[in-house]
Amino acid sequence: MAIHIVMHNRIRMDLLYLLRWNLLADLNEITIVVPDQAIPSPFFSHASADESFAIPPLSRVEVTISDCVTKRDFDKRPDPFRSQPPPLLIIHEDDQPITLKQFVTKVHAYLNHHMDEIKRVKGDCYRESIEQGRLYLPDSVGFFFKSVYANAPVDNKDLIRVAVAVFADSEFGLSVDRLWASNLRYTDWHENDRQE
């Protein structure tokens, strides 16, 4: 079994936690909270979009969906219920850094491509409604970026694996506004952790 080390301090969580990222909306509707500004700004026209996704910069990252990985690891049902989408590989052959904009664009498409699987996994956890003996999500539930968790094998710290966590609105009784408020509280902590 491979040993992994946590790499959160390399990922720009201080910027990712500022995003208002609705996974079901158009990519151009993603906004970023700007200090001392009442209304969030469009993310793709903000200077942060062109910043490196990680420090030091990364030119390769493997992305998975945290909720699906967790479901697979803990669900003991037969294989059809334990499927996991293949990872997304973001690779710059020219060794140029992956920017926040590139990460968000590719991950947005990846999550939407696998949205049915995300909804199935979230439906098993949501516990909102039961139809014909099976848990399901109401059609009106929104899906939002929650966070990322990063690690790397001890013997290859340049192979960063990032698991993206998705939030279903009202999951665990929390609204998306409460999620975003919570994320804002973590931005300074992540900025300090990254600089240590």
User: What confidence tens digit (pLDDT) does each residue in 102-132 have?
Assistant: 999 999 999 999 998 888 888 766 655 555 5
- At 159 the three-state DSSP class reads coil
Nearest residue to 163 (alpha-carbon basis) of 82, 92, 87, 102: 87
Is residue 92 predicted with pLDDT exceeding 60?
yes
**Could you tell me if 18 and 33 are in contact, meaning their C-beta atoms sit under 8 angstroms apart?**
yes
* Calpha distance 107→33 (Å, rounded): 20
pTM for this prediction:
0.85
* Calpha distance 41→31 (Å, rounded): 5
Nearest residue to 12 (alpha-carbon basis) of 28, 26, 27, 32: 32
Mean pLDDT of 124-151: 72
Q: How confident is the model at residue 144 (pLDDT cuts 50, 70, 90)?
A: very high
Q: Which of 8-17, 34-43, 46-55 is the most confident on average?
A: 46-55
CB atoms within 10 A of CB 42: 12
39's CB contacts (< 8 A; 6+ apart) are: none
Nearest residue to 69 (alpha-carbon basis) of 162, 4, 136, 146: 162
Looking at the chain, the whole-number percentage of residues with pLDDT higher than 70 is 74
How distant, in Å, are the alpha carbons of 116, 121, 139, 171 from that of 127?
17, 11, 14, 9
**Could you tell me if 160 and 58 are in contact, meaning their C-beta atoms sit under 8 angstroms apart?**
yes
**Could you tell me if 15 and 147 are in contact, meaning their C-beta atoms sit under 8 angstroms apart?**
no
pLDDT at 36: 80
| Residue tagged 């909102």 (tokens) | 128
| Residue tagged 């990519």 (tokens) | 27
